[in-house]
Chain A
């Protein structure tokens, strides 16, 4: 491990379970245990345990926290009820995406989870803009685990009674093997599942408890990436960045109705215009012909071979057993079924715009039949 990579609370735990560790977001993290495809399928069929402790866990508090956060995010926090999560975005003044995040109202404060690679910049960005009466705390002594898959609820409800009552995008305070845990029904795989925030000092004991359940295996970053790609979920720094707007990135749902009308968040004018007129390019899913994966960085080309877009994520879908990708394409080529030509290392690939998710989401939505 080089000096540049910091150890997360579960570093020894991963190594002890045979993980291969790689540098990621400034940390040493498990890329895989038994193999990406096996771990991917296990998560879709049973339950996978992910360590996402590199992500930033923040508390924003103070009497004016709600109004202050609304100046930075396009979410309608006024209708966000206690214990509810919302997907949102930090935006530049011209509507570029600084980061994507989850924000939860927890009684008198907001709990926010941001990406690991961007957390320090996010904190600086927010602290510069939040008024003095609003406080932002970085919970550096908190670990974050995710338990994802159709059997996650069976495993977790055995250890933390009551979690089965949570519906998708809600959370609450629980006790897990004697440890206080904030647990939400959310995740990044497209499956039902939970995200579990616990004190770093208790992380290994909690991970042991979870991994000892018969439905559960530890899963590395490799499968986390292939699972989120199948689920059509964008990855910051790859599919999203400061040159990408929410409308281009097909994240218009993150701009709440009241905020569309009232504005008052960074980039509101540009975003309102793109919502009305349509963006010039759009993030889409691609089903690639043949078996060879097309990777991030491959070009989208027109009939003359000119670059008109870019592949931002690409790989092999273990469930479809075929190559899939996400790309930004011109708006006129963004409808499902449209043909798209790709170029990678001097080779041409044919692809079709495919509806996302590639593999259906199976969230535990409130009121939905189970």
Chain B
């Protein structure tokens, strides 16, 4: 199992040939109270760096980008029903979608936990 991060504050946890994606605790703290999420449906192709999901707080709407390319296997319906899971457990129960990676080498450009922490500190 490996965990990677993007500069857009997504995390991706790789488990075999699939991975789950969410936004980081840092990101949820910046967003504030999340009131709505839209997750992609199974079967949808997503491209690295392109919009894959939507998260809206009281204040603003934000896109969630796919950290890598692949086919969505599952959107997190529990999150759609309880969007505040993003605030209470961003890097656990608050995941957005699971995808099947189409090109695992795209992971190489992402940050590990230490690099991401340093990145946030510099923000």
Q: Nearest A residue to B61 by beta-carbon distance? A: A295
Asked whether B38 is an interface residue with its Cβ less than 8 Å from the other chain, the reply is yes
Which of under 10, 10 to 19, 20 to 34, or 35 or more describes the interface residues of B? 10 to 19
Closest Cβ neighbor of A222 among chain B residues? B59
CB-CB nearest in chain B for A37: B33
1/0 per residue, CB under 8 A from A, across B47-62: the answer is 0000000101111110
B92 at interface, CB cutoff 8 A: no
Contact of B35 among A32, A222, A291 (CB under 8 A): A291
Question: Which A residues contact B (CB, under 8 angstroms)?
Answer: 31-32, 35-38, 222, 226, 291-293, 295, 315-316, 318, 323, 345
Of chain B, the residue at the smallest CB distance from A31 is B59
Tell me, yes or no, whether B116 is within 8 Å of chain A by CB: no
- Are A316 and B32 neighbours in the complex by a CB distance under 8 Å? no
Q: Would A35 and B61 count as touching, CB distance under 8 A?
A: no
Please indicate the chain A residues that have their CB under 8 angstroms from the CB of B56 in the complex: 292-293, 316
Q: Least Cβ distance of A54 to chain B in Å?
A: 18
- Interfacial chain A residues near B83, Cβ < 8 Å: 291
A36's partner among B36, B59, B61 (CB-CB below 8 A) is B59
Chain A contacts for B32, CB-based, 8 A:
32, 35-36, 222
Q: Give B residues with C-beta under 8 Å from A.
A: 32-33, 35-36, 38, 54, 56-61, 83
Cβ of B38: which chain A residues have Cβ within 8 Å of it? 292
Q: Is the CB of A315 within 8 A of B36?
A: no
* Sample (10) of A-B pairs whose CB atoms are under 8 Å apart: A35-B33, A36-B32, A36-B59, A222-B59, A292-B54, A293-B56, A315-B58, A316-B36, A316-B56, A316-B58
Instruction: Name, among A32, A226, A293, the residue most crowded by chain B CB atoms within 10 Å (CB to CB).
Output: A293
19 further interface pairs, Cβ-Cβ under 8 Å (given A222-B58, A222-B59): A31-B59, A35-B32, A37-B33, A37-B58, A222-B32, A291-B36, A291-B83, A292-B38, A292-B54, A292-B56, A293-B35, A293-B36, A293-B56, A293-B61, A295-B61, A316-B35, A316-B56, A323-B36, A345-B61
